[in-house]
Amino acid sequence: MLGTILIIVLILLLLGALPSWPYSGGWGYYPSGSLGLILIIVVILVLLGRV
């Protein structure tokens, strides 16, 4: 249950970090890239049963 909630929150953060606004265009994909990496790690941990 905790893993599912964590994955949903991370997906929402990942969508929110995409550089879609003009002021965030200079950020590049660094915010969403790091959140994507965290999401992949959490998904792997959930699949292995660690979370």
Q: In which domain, by residue range, is 26 found?
A: 2-48
d(CA 3, CA 10): 10
According to the model, what pLDDT value does residue 32 have? 67
pLDDT in tens, 4-14: 888 888 888 77
pTM: 0.58
How many distinct structural domains can be found in the chain? Answer: 1
pLDDT, residue 24, reads: 60
Dihedral sign computed on CA atoms, order 22, 27, 29, 32 = negative
> What are 29's two structure tokens?
């994909």
20 or 37, higher pLDDT: 37
